[in-house]
Amino acid sequence: MASLYTEQGKNIRRTWLLMTVFLVMIIAIGYFIGWYLNDPSILYIAIVFSLFMNVTAYWFSDKVALAATGAKEADERQYRELHRVLENLAITAGLPKPRLYVIDDPAPNAFAAGRNPKHAVVAVTTGLLSQLERSELEGVIAHELSHVGNRDILVMTVAVVLAGFIAIIADIFLRVSFFGGNNREGRNPILAIAGIVAIILAPFAAQLIQLAVSRKREFLADASGALLTRYPDALASALQKISSYQAPMRRANHATAHLFISNPFGAHEAGKFIARIFSTHPPVEERIAALTQMRV
């Protein structure tokens, strides 16, 4: 079985590959928009913005994720027990204690973000705190710390920012093309249509890249978290409670969905056929089965 450390190098390489792929996609979109609107300067603007967004994704992705989910820093006096659980597990895992945040939401869920263990954050919902027993909460926190140790958080949070940026570029181009694209005489209409279709599909391609970052990381984080607490049944029980909650999170969105321990759109949405195809998480039944079969 892969450990916390064997996956670190792979995830760092995946991050650079992910950033390169997004860079190429944005430059390609910029090239086509410049060709379509007969304005070559758009390509250079796309290159500058893609480089800027790569830097932003690397350095500030945790802040973007926290802002998108409405997370607030957890007061040490109000959430003393939660801080103690996080600190004890971080020491056990040999990691610096991440900054701790709380999301005011009745849906039980949690996520980790940041570019490396020294700049990691862990966020949990108020629903998670109210519905889980201590051993189950420890299992969830251990799962998130495993993401930190595996460097999954770097890959996942970079994907949030870059996928969102591609969606914004595609939307801007479509609005411009419908309301005043200029000087398209002499263009090959087939090539123009193909380019427009490609840009329309670009956000979906970005989402598929997010999925490719891969669902396996959840199985690895489950296993590593269970090894950290030496109690896989507690995490299995927590996943059962989290996944059975019907309502979505108040600020659930597709850009940050893959950060959470479970689908933030609720059990009803997670069960739909199309939703399962584009799900950022493997079926919870498979995760629970893998945990209940573990021997630690």
Q: How far is CA 131 from CA 16, 87, 174, in A?
A: 38, 21, 45
**Is residue 203 within 8 Å of residue 167, measured between CB atoms?**
yes
Question: Helix 134-150 to helix 152-178 angle, to the nearest 10 degrees?
Answer: 80
- Catalytic: which of 144, 269, 285, 286? 144
With tokens 């927590």, the residue in question is 238
With tokens 């945990």, the residue in question is 291
Is 76 in the active site?
A: no
Helix, strand, coil proportions of the chain in percent (round to 5)?
Answer: 65, 5, 25
**Is residue 46 within 8 Å of residue 31, measured between CB atoms?**
yes
Edge-first strand listing for the sheet containing 72-73: 72-73, 99-103, 121-125, 110-113
Host H or E run for residue 167: helix 152-178
With tokens 């995760």, the residue in question is 287
- Distance separating alpha carbons of residues 22 and 16, to the nearest angstrom: 10
How many CA within 13 A on the CB side of residue 171? 8
Gap between the terminal Cα atoms of the chain = 12
- Distance separating alpha carbons of residues 166 and 255, to the nearest angstrom: 11
Alpha carbon 210 to chain centroid distance?
A: 7
**Is residue 249 within 8 Å of residue 264, measured between CB atoms?**
yes
Catalogue the active-site residues. 144
